Structure 1
Amino acid sequence: MTQEMFHATTTFPLTDPMRLIRRLCKHWAHKITTEYSDSEGSVDFGDQKTAKLYANEGTLTIKISTPTKSDLETIQDVVERHVVRMIPEEEITKIKWELSL
């Protein structure tokens, strides 16, 4: 029996998405497991709560998966606060999440 997971995805424009992925992964690496390569990153918040980050030409896509809706809202908030804090001020945008099961 597989557990139902909750998902949220956002994509928004960013001049250097890979720079943000590296910064986020390095920032969180002191407390949780993170990995990144030349075009993507992953963050394991524990207890089946994950964020995958993908750098595309001029955009960043973030996909979050969690076992509960409450966890999803918490991780979305954590990721969003860190993204807004770490991107250049002139590139701050409203992050709109698409939710799915």
Structure 2
Amino acid sequence: MTLTAHVPTTNASRYLQQLCKHWSHKFETEFDPQAGVVILPMGAIRMAAQDEALVVAIDPKPEADVALFKKVVADHLDRFAFREAPLAFDWK
């Protein structure tokens, strides 16, 4: 089950790089200015920077608490986006 959110922001590339760098000290990450992947114990996060949005997709493991997973991702991105937080996540 993949959940995806289109998060409106003009700083998508900056936020995805900051989040990947932040988690790279503890978890497997791979990123460039346009896309990033983070492998957490709860599952994988994939991000893509667009001009007007950050596309965030999570792939929770079967045993993961999905609500907590979404909250962890949103809370961390909001910290980096403090000038425009809270960001709007439309999980689908």
- What range is the shorter-chain TM-score in? 0.7 to 0.9
- With the length of structure 1 as denominator, give the TM-score of the two structures: 0.80
Residue in structure 2 matched with residue 74 of structure 1 by the alignment: 68
- With the length of structure 2 as denominator, give the TM-score of the two structures: 0.86
Runs of 4+ in 1 over 3 A off after TM superposition: none
Residue in structure 1 matched with residue 16 of structure 2 by the alignment: 21
SS of the counterpart of 1:94? coil
Q: CA deviation at 1:12?
A: 1.7
SS of the counterpart of 2:84? helix
Q: Radius of gyration: which is bigger?
A: 1
Closer, same or farther: CA 8–69 of 1 in aligned 2, 3 Å: farther
Q: CA deviation at 1:57?
A: 1.1
Residue in structure 2 matched with residue 3 of structure 1 by the alignment: none
Taking only the aligned residue pairs, the percentage that are identical comes to 27
Q: CA deviation at 1:10?
A: 0.3
Equivalent positions of 1:1-101 (< 5 A) are: 6-46=1-41, 49-68=43-62, 70-90=64-84, 92-98=86-92
Deviations 1:40-66 (A, max 9, x none): 00000136x100000011210000002
Q: CA deviation at 1:95?
A: 1.7
**Does the 8 Å contact 2:17/2:33 carry over to 1?**
no
- In 2, the alpha carbon distance for the partners of 1:9 and 1:26 equals 21
- In 2, the alpha carbon distance for the partners of 1:89 and 1:79 equals 17
Q: Which AA in structure 2 matches 1:57?
A: D
Which structure 2 residue ranges, 5 or more long, are not aligned?
none
Q: CA deviation at 1:76?
A: 1.0
